[in-house]
Amino acid sequence: MSVVAKGGRGWCLDACSLIDQGYEKCLTREGDNWSKVKARFKRRCFHIIKPHCGVKPQTAALEENVKLEILPKVRCVISEETKSLVESARRLGYFQGGTNPTEDPLPGHECNLASLCDMAKDLPGVDDDDDDQTDCAQLLVDEQGCTSHLDLFSRVTEHTSDCATVVTLMGEEYVIPPRTAFLLSDFSRMEPLLRYGRKFDVIVMDPPWENKSVKRSRRYSSLPSSQLKRLPLPSLASPNCLVVTWVTNRPKHLRFVRDELYPHWGVEIVAEWLWVKVTTEGQFVFPLDSPHKKPYEVLVLGRYSRSQEKSSTESVSTPVENQRLVVSVPSALHSHKPSLSEVLKPYVGGDASCLELFARSLQPGWTSWGNEVLRFQHTSYFTWTPAEKLTKSPASAPSED
């Protein structure tokens, strides 16, 4: 069960189970035949047993400025509600701690997707004068099970099957969840997503915020805050679209989203939530009052209100409560956020069209964009349980047992 417990002020999530929901039925190729398997995201990635004691003095001294300070009243809400959610989940058998899973170490796959996107800038782009939307999309797997002619950089790739599928893309194996679409590109090649012709009821983004820690580690390329205004969100959002942005604990980033980014897009802030990170035993991963590293991150939620058009989801959307907590064990993989699909459903409806920007993984039923959009879809992050052999291609293979 992905939502382990629900309280008056939030939810406790099993982030790994949320991922697994899309891979209960998965097709993988063996020669000319296809086999049905069950895929699971590696538990080792979510096994944070002990809290971190703190930050080394020399590391703390390099921080750019003081981290975001939470008001005493909100700090009390975090402390008490997290404790309540953890206790509720523990009564259901969750947060039992334990030893390291008997799996391989953390996957060490080197992701080269961002560099491939840079190289793709030299390829012919989409013709802006061409209004034919069919040229902007392609099927992941054709009727013969072929993926060799895909253009991942200038066309939206759709996987319409009800089964996840393991495919070879650019010489690497990836597992693609069902009913998903994605575009592998950066800012310079977003046009196919705009010409895709869809308006989205939910847009979630986790920007690669610029800071000195990221520059030192060189784990991924960052983006100046001012560049986020270039995102064509009004062209992608349906009226009343729920916009959700992950924000680091630097006050300047939060101020930028509140005072510049959302007003620039015509998005009205309706709530601010906190993602609270705990260990497998239910303890904060960092002390709540730590002056440097915090056991939480901020989520800013807003409604796109500039358009006066009528929205198909306007009648089912409900007010978003403020100061809600999303409690979960974080991934040990950098920038691997938990899916918000389950906790957002009450506010947008189950049939909402959803988009993730700056995505590093895919979600069933969602459209995703980013220059590392397949990063955590690599097969090295999954374990496999054989099910049965098939003789048909994914396009015609049955989706039910």
Whether residue 159 contacts residue 169, with contact meaning beta carbons closer than 8 Å, is answered with no
pLDDT at 30: 76
The model's pLDDT over 210-224, given as tens digits with 9 standing for 90+, comes to 865 544 445 556 788
Residue 399 in any domain: the answer is no
Low-confidence ranges of the chain (pLDDT < 50): 55, 57-65, 214-217, 311-316, 398-401
Residue 54 in any domain: the answer is yes
Residue 401 in any domain: the answer is no
Token reading at 83: 């404790």
pLDDT at 192: 96
pLDDT at 137: 92
pLDDT at 397: 54
Residue 400 in any domain: the answer is no
pLDDT at 395: 56
Residue 398 in any domain: the answer is no
Residue 395 in any domain: the answer is no
d(C-alpha 367, C-alpha 64), whole Å: 35
pLDDT at 53: 58
The model's pLDDT over 69-102, given as tens digits with 9 standing for 90+, comes to 666 777 888 999 999 999 999 999 999 876 555 5
Domain that holds residue 273: 3-390
Largest CA distance in the chain: 62
Residue 396 in any domain: the answer is no
Mean pLDDT of the chain: 84
**Angle made by CA atoms 341, 1, 270, in degrees to the nearest 5:** 30
Q: Total structural domains in the chain? A: 1
CATH number of the CATH domain containing 179: 3.40.50.150
Residue 186 in any domain: the answer is yes
What pTM was estimated for this model as a whole? 0.88
